[in-house]
Amino acid sequence: MESDFLKPEECAEVDMALLSSKEKFSARLAIYALRVLKQIAGETGLSVAEISNQQVMDWVRNDESIQQSIQVDASFENFFTNLVVASLRPLRQIATEVGGAIEQLTVKQVVAWFEKDAKIRRE
């Protein structure tokens, strides 16, 4: 995994979206969480839906790119784990709406859902 949380093309996709700064942050977080959860699923043989909070925390604790980027302590591990786990809620909604598994979601689908959700909330 690279040290950047999002790839340049993922950032560009979010930046083009009609979203507020807060909504863009949430979309970026969901995209990053999707990548992390797919990686954990691949390492454990589980589906994303089966991954436990503890498995996310273990991954955060052991990921070299996070260790290199950030001074990690127990409170950060909890905070970051909670961010990734919280992203599961919109990812589950997106997967349900597109009729597929979380693992099959694309960046475009995630961004489109956040745009749709933002539009609904503004109306």
Q: Looking at residue 106, what is its pLDDT?
A: 95
Say whether pTM exceeds 0.75: yes
Sign of CA dihedral 17, 5, 100, 50: negative
As a whole number of angstroms, the distance between CA 70 and CA 76 comes to 9
Enumerate the domain spans of the chain: 8-122
**Residue 103, amino acid:** E
- Structure-derived torsion over alpha carbons of residues 8, 35, 76, 113, reported in degrees to the nearest 10: 80
As a whole number of angstroms, the distance between CA 86 and CA 83 comes to 5
Write the pLDDT tens digit of every residue in 28-81: 999 999 999 999 999 999 999 899 999 998 988 888 777 766 666 767 788 888
